Amino acid sequence: MMGAAISRWTMSYFAAALVFLIAAEGLMVAGYGFPAAPMEAPETLVLVHMVTIGWLSLLMCGALFQFVPVLVATPLRYPALVLPAFVLLLTGLGCLLGGFLQLAGSFDADLPLLAMAGVFLPSGFALAVWVIAVTLWAGRPLALPARFVAVGLFAVVVVAMLGASFAFVLSGTSPFDPLIELRPHILTIHVAIGFGGWLGFTAIGVSYRLLPMFMLSPESERSTAYWVWWCGSAALLLIALIVPATLLLAVGTGPVITVACLLAFLALGLYAADLTFFYRHRRRRTIELNSSAALGAFAMLYLAVLLFAALLLTGTLEQHVGALIHLIAFGWLTGLGLSQLYKIVPFLTWLECYGPVMGRQPTPRVQDMVVEKRDMPWFAVYFLGVLVCTAALLADQPTLFRILALMPLMATVAIVVELIGARRLSNIAAERRLPPGTMQPRLFLPPTLNWRRS
């Protein structure tokens, strides 16, 4: 990884993603969308897509552009498409949010914003998937973490296609009457494949590479990891292909969904065994903050599994699905994203700033670019805030939720301030900050805007 090239636009993806995360958390504190509004309300759709596309998907794309070449030991293919993908994704998301605001009656415009989003967003994801998929293809045979990413790419294609079809349905321009009739069922598939496949399964695959790398754990591919891939892939295949087929044929979906859930539970159980192995067999005896904070995210993942099982057994899943999604999105996925950004941003900044003079000039350590003792409480505040917010949702207390949502918002802002400080080299002593031959890194733009190489 030390000799890996830096993806020129990864920091731009990260910066935009963090802006959307803070904005979404701010809207929750302001009482916009769920739980103040119903789950299906346009205001809630604004909030949901700010998190799933604006925050999590941009974060995932930016991370994959950087780490897929590491996974397959080959340069990123078609890097010039990374910036157009970014522009299309931001444009499409802007149209989507504007279209939802139109539905909410917040403003009136003649532009068919939802239909435009149905074109721009899939186009942006198509470019991103193409770049990553071609890079994976060039790196065959694929290591296990790369196989997880490949399945995640299949999932995002399904999610983007379903999302585009919903956009056209809501805009009133869809010719697919069966989709309109099956909308509640297809929406469930859209959510399950989005969270479970594109975001969740891909995050699991990336963690199989990042955790051993950052904790110096054994990187040998364990048989349990292969079973995680097989079981998870089978569960996603059942949800993405078999369930829609049974819906079109008017056959009961219950047995298929049951098998998919059992496979997912088995995959997550085996994943827990692998996580335990990584932490117990690490050669880095002192766990850095990014790895210890990731434990909080993993705890949230398995708490969400327990909550799902409890809601399913008590028949209250539909009533409390919002609380479950909140725990998954903010506890598991956002918690893992913030914890890894805490290491990735300083790491890439170090490579950008000090990599060119490594071995020729004395340079600071990556650990010197952040202050873990100062930042550790903020991760604790974040995860505690997610927990109490989830409890407020389960108790149907929207006002209490708004008050408690200040905790994750404040913690997120504090973590982002630390990331900005890392980019600015603020924690490095002035006399060591910029040795001869180094340059101050830009906050979120490439060091030199050479468009032919971007």
Domain ranges in the chain are 1-213, 313-353+363-428
User: In angstroms, how far is CA 451 from the centroid of its own chain?
Assistant: 28
CA angle 107/108/114 to nearest 5° reads 95
**Of 383, 454, 373, 376, nearest in space to 415 by CA:** 376
pTM over 0.85: yes
DSSP annotation of 358? B
pLDDT of 1 reads 47
Rounded to the nearest 5 percent, the helix, strand and coil shares of the chain are 75, 0, 25
* Overall residue count recorded for the chain in this entry: 454
Distances (CA, A) of 403 to 237, 329, 420: 40, 19, 27
CA dist., res. 417 & res. 345, Å (int) = 12
DSSP annotation of 103? H
CA atoms lying within 13 Å on the CB side of residue 231: 19
Give Dmax over CA atoms of the chain in angstroms: 71
CA dist., res. 296 & res. 379, Å (int) = 9
Tens digits of pLDDT across the chain (454 residues): 444 577 889 999 999 999 999 999 999 999 999 999 999 899 999 999 999 999 999 999 999 999 999 999 899 999 999 999 999 999 999 999 999 999 988 888 788 899 999 999 999 999 999 999 999 999 999 999 999 999 999 999 999 999 998 888 887 776 555 555 667 788 889 999 999 999 999 999 999 999 999 898 887 778 999 999 999 999 999 999 888 888 777 777 788 999 999 999 999 999 999 999 999 999 888 899 999 999 999 999 999 999 999 999 999 999 999 999 999 999 999 999 999 999 999 999 998 888 878 777 888 888 889 999 999 999 999 999 999 999 999 999 999 999 999 999 999 999 999 999 999 999 998 888 888 777 788 888 887 643 333 3
pLDDT of 450 reads 38
Distances (CA, A) of 410 to 183, 371, 406: 37, 18, 6
CB–CB of 32/47 below 8 Å? yes
